[in-house]
Amino acid sequence: MSSLIKILLALFLLPVLFSLSRINLSLAADCNRNRPRLEVIADNGAGIGKPGEKLTYTIKVTNKDVGANCPTSRVNLSAIILNGTGWKYQFEKDTFTSIAPGDTKSTKLHVTSPQNAGEGPKTITVSAQRPNGAKISQDVTYNVMGSSADGQTTTPSEGRSPAGQKILNFKIGIDGIGTTPNIPIGGNKDPDNIYRQLNFRIYDIETGSLLHAVTNFQFTYNPNSEKFEAVYNIPSGANIPDALYDIYVDGPRFLRTLYPEIVFIEAGQTTDLTSDDFYLITGNIIDTDLSENVIDIMDYNVLLSCSIYSQDISACDEFPSFKDYSDLNDDGVVNEDDFTLWLKELDFNEGEILP
């Protein structure tokens, strides 16, 4: 994007941001209803289990309503396992009858894979919904691994993987959430949604050929590292010999990034993808046609339409996820913080190009 366009956008946005900062956002009513916060976390950390094993996930629901006169909320839980023939799940409790504003209630979800489950990740979608409210969903992964020789599940330890297996240990930053090189002072360190569904591709560094691709894989925010983390077990049938690779990552609202170092993947080893320079640039709200993998004025139009200051929501309503994608720092509201972050990301307006 030309320097002239950036200057014009900055001159246009600065007075808007200054005026927005002076707006009184105090509640007109005594209760501000907000979407509940849903968290689903595997109790064993990595969500790794052998065929036929029962894994347990902790589910937490937080009532995010604010106001002296807010009532308690009833929240119902449900789950779906797509193409889940033979998979079984059970909630210890599937309804919270009363959650007070600001309070958190928790329960357990037990998931058992079939004895003949193939290696690889299986996605379980957990949903929470108030009566007559919008359904809020989060995906959690059950990573099926084969048994070790003694019949016990072997998990990664100190860089080693079960014999013959190849595991990728991801830790990736996201601008606007936690601390990244682009946002060294730190963004929102308590995001509403601690999960991100990201895609990654593995390319042979010599031939430039795509050897393996994974879509919608769940990454979970770790407040200690301020990064989104995931463990991926490369299926035994994947054509990934011991060699050097380039790994690309992208996802909704993010520009594509390339892991900043050449990656060596080896059988029996866990490959750490944990560089501080491994992070995603946000603001690519529209990722189709001419706007694919670039941040441009079309993204800004949607951001403005989805903001709390919008006078025309037609652009925001064109796609159900635009409202969520526009909340760049994931604090539950699209406001001047998101405009400021978007303008900063405009300096890096094009993502990495695939080979």
The pLDDT tens digits of the residues spanning 257-270 come to 999 999 999 998 99
- Mean pLDDT lowest among 91-105, 218-232, 245-259: 218-232
Q: Is the pLDDT of residue 276 over 50?
A: yes
pLDDT of residue 157: 43
- The predicted model gives 316-335 an average pLDDT of 92
Q: Output the average pLDDT for the chain.
A: 86
Write the pLDDT tens digit of every residue in 75-97.
999 999 987 789 999 999 999 99
Q: Give the largest Cα separation in the chain, rounded.
A: 67
DSSP single-letter state for residue 12: H
Q: 158 vs 85, which has greater pLDDT?
A: 85
Q: How confident is the model at residue 162 (pLDDT cuts 50, 70, 90)?
A: low
Outline where DSSP puts E strands in the chain: 37-42, 48-49, 54-62, 73-81, 88-91, 95-99, 104-112, 120-129, 136-144, 166-174, 195-204, 210-222, 227-234, 243-251, 253-258, 263-265, 269-273, 279-280, 282-284
Instruction: Provide, rounded to the nearest whole percent, the portion of the chain with pLDDT above 70.
Output: 86
pLDDT of residue 158: 46
- The predicted model gives 9-36 an average pLDDT of 55
- The predicted model gives 321-332 an average pLDDT of 93
Q: Is the pLDDT of residue 3 over 70?
A: no
Residue type at 158 in one-letter notation: E
Q: Is residue 231 a contact partner of residue 244, using CB atoms and an 8 Å limit?
A: no
Could you tell me the two tokens for 202?
A: 């593995």
Q: How confident is the model at residue 156 (pLDDT cuts 50, 70, 90)?
A: very low
pLDDT of residue 134: 78
pLDDT of residue 154: 40
pLDDT of residue 218: 87
Provide CATH 2.60.40.4130 ranges for the chain.
161-355
Q: 146 vs 329, which has greater pLDDT?
A: 329
Q: How confident is the model at residue 147 (pLDDT cuts 50, 70, 90)?
A: low
Q: 3 vs 24, which has greater pLDDT?
A: 3
- Architecture in CATH for domain 37-144: Sandwich (2.60)
- The predicted model gives 305-311 an average pLDDT of 94
Which three-class secondary structure string do you get for 58-84?
EEEEECCCECCCCCCEEEEEEEEECCC
DSSP element (H, E) containing 305: helix 297-306
pTM: 0.65
- Cα separation, 43 vs 124, in Å, equals 15
pLDDT of residue 5: 53
pLDDT of residue 205: 94
- The predicted model gives 292-299 an average pLDDT of 94
pLDDT of residue 10: 52
- Architecture in CATH for domain 161-355: Sandwich (2.60)
